[in-house]
Structure 1
Amino acid sequence: MADTLPQEGLSRGTLRSETVIVLALSLGASAVSSLISFVGALTKPGGLKDQAAMLNSSYAPGRPWLDLAWQLFGIATALVPVVLVAHLLTREGPGLRAIGFDRTRPWSDLGRGALVAAVIGSAGLAFYLIARAAGFNLTVVPESLPGVWWKYPVLILSAVQNSVLEEVLVVGYLLRRLGQLGWTPMAALVASSVLRGSYHLYQGIGGFIGNMVMGAVFVLLYRRWGRVGPLVAAHALLDIVAFVGYGLLAGEVSWLPTP
């Protein structure tokens, strides 16, 4: 008889396949794409810091309304894996509430998230500048959108999308499934943090290491608080500051690298 988990009535094989499929449709595929991109950067003439990793670029230069439509389409479709995870978790009863992604503690989640973002953001920026100067990282360009009215709203939506997708899948969902599959807490922490680093490898070795460390910290905080809500808030704030800050400061301050 199959080894089943009583709370779901599903075999371990089914949950294992489910987890692989969810990752293959989302951040697992991003990790493979990032690896290919990194290999391309390594084999390209010139150093890593002389190359650029572009985020939030225009889809239709010179056609702002079409560009906006593509931007919103990209943000919406990137969240489909989160909807899939929510559907899968409803088999266990509470859905996304099982991983602490709900509206029961909005101010607590935001307060904790702001504190985490302040600490990680300052350390992360310093690490990026050092890694780039040492030649281990590409020049990260958080945004290169045209100066149209929807630029900053789209950047904020993109930041929120990134945070929801990553924290729900790589922390809440993945840790829950790995625990149900019998992984030790340390093994699950390593898997989650290495996955997070892997899909940031397109930025360079610094991007991989920095995000892997951030992933380990987020796993430990999730286990302490039992909620991904604060992590979503922290990640969203980090990305909003990075995206909007770059848009406002690029070319205006000497310490911020640009291509």
Structure 2
Amino acid sequence: MSERRHLRAEVWIVLGLSLGASGVYSLVSLIRKATLAGGLRGQTATLNAARDNREAFDFIYQVLAIGFALVPVALALYLLSQDDVKERVSQRLGLDRARPGFDLLWGAGLAAAIGLPGLGLYGLGRLAGITTQIIPAPDVSYWWTVPVLILAALQNAIVEEVIVVGYLMTRLRQFGWTTGATIVTSAALRGSYHLYQGIGPGIGNFVMGLVFGYWFHRTRRVMPLVIAHTILDVVAFVGYLLFADALGLT
């Protein structure tokens, strides 16, 4: 098998074990919800549902799910580390601690730039009936719920930004793809696995993917994207848990 065919097979395996599979399930979920009575407007998407009605087992399942979700990331980084290049994989993807101030500043800036328009797009999607009601936090909370939600936000950020941006875009460039095709493909994958939330979030995350993909193309750093994504999810998860009742969102 040639090196290029080997890498293509590798990409399909990594995506099939992670977000590519999520994209397929998400598309099926979108079709299912759209064909139910009331359409997408009448459906919900719960992001961090309880996994058991007993507190101890709910906690165990939540932590296990977060841990095992990171295994495809470890696989992707391991595979990249086998390439015949001098740089460590953390340096190639900009996942090191070489520029902490730069990463934090731009991570916060990207979160603000993506988050505020995202709220508006969600509202428009709900009005247009193309977005489900998104429930970011579980109905029942315990003393450990907030820390686990923060861990879930960090896990989402690491999985998505390392695999969809760092790993996939690196491999597509090795295939000889153009910059534009690489960015659009990465963004399309990001949009696909959010379709279970509705068409609006799919479009919104596609746009986010274009921004993040272009950022990685220009800077070669994934770390600010991980920081930005973590901030967005922490605000959504913990903010909903703390303020949903006061804001009339439940």
**TM-score after normalising by structure 2:** 0.96
Task: Report 1:1-259 matches (<5 A).
Answer: 11-61=3-53, 63-92=54-83, 93=85, 94-254=88-248, 257-258=249-250
- Counterpart-to-counterpart distance in 1, 2:224 and 2:144: 27
- Counterpart-to-counterpart distance in 2, 1:148 and 1:65: 10
Task: Provide structure 2 residue ranges, at least 5 long, that are not aligned to the other structure.
Answer: none
Give the paired residue count.
247
Q: Is the 8 A contact 1:88 1:95 kept in 2?
A: no
1:47, distance to aligned residue in structure 2 (A):
2.9
- Counterpart-to-counterpart distance in 2, 1:200 and 1:128: 13
Query: What is the match of residue 8 of structure 1?
Result: none
Which letter maps to 1:88? Answer: L
Encode CA deviations 1:21-57: one digit per residue, 9 max, x unaligned. Answer: 0000000000001011111101111131221001111
1:145, distance to aligned residue in structure 2 (A):
4.7
- Counterpart-to-counterpart distance in 2, 1:135 and 1:169: 31
SS in 1 for 2:82: helix
Q: Is the 8 A contact 2:77 2:167 kept in 1?
A: no
SS in 1 for 2:75: helix
- Counterpart-to-counterpart distance in 2, 1:252 and 1:246: 10
- Counterpart-to-counterpart distance in 2, 1:49 and 1:96: 42
Encode CA deviations 1:89-126: one digit per residue, 9 max, x unaligned. Answer: 11125123211112222222111100110111111011
Q: Is the 8 A contact 1:89 1:96 kept in 2?
A: no
Query: What is the match of residue 7 of structure 1?
Result: none
Which letter maps to 1:35? Answer: L
- Counterpart-to-counterpart distance in 1, 2:242 and 2:231: 16
**TM-score after normalising by structure 1:** 0.93
SS in 1 for 2:150: helix
- Counterpart-to-counterpart distance in 2, 1:35 and 1:47: 15
Encode CA deviations 1:199-225: one digit per residue, 9 max, x unaligned. Answer: 000000001100000000001111121
Coordinate RMSD, CA, aligned: 1.2
- Counterpart-to-counterpart distance in 2, 1:234 and 1:147: 25
Which letter maps to 2:6? Answer: T
Task: Provide structure 1 residue ranges, at least 5 long, that are not aligned to the other structure.
Answer: 4-10
Encode CA deviations 1:64-113: one digit per residue, 9 max, x unaligned. Answer: 11110000000000000110011111112512321111222222211110
- Counterpart-to-counterpart distance in 2, 1:40 and 1:54: 15
Encode CA deviations 1:107-164: one digit per residue, 9 max, x unaligned. Answer: 2211110011011111101110111111010000001152210000000000000000
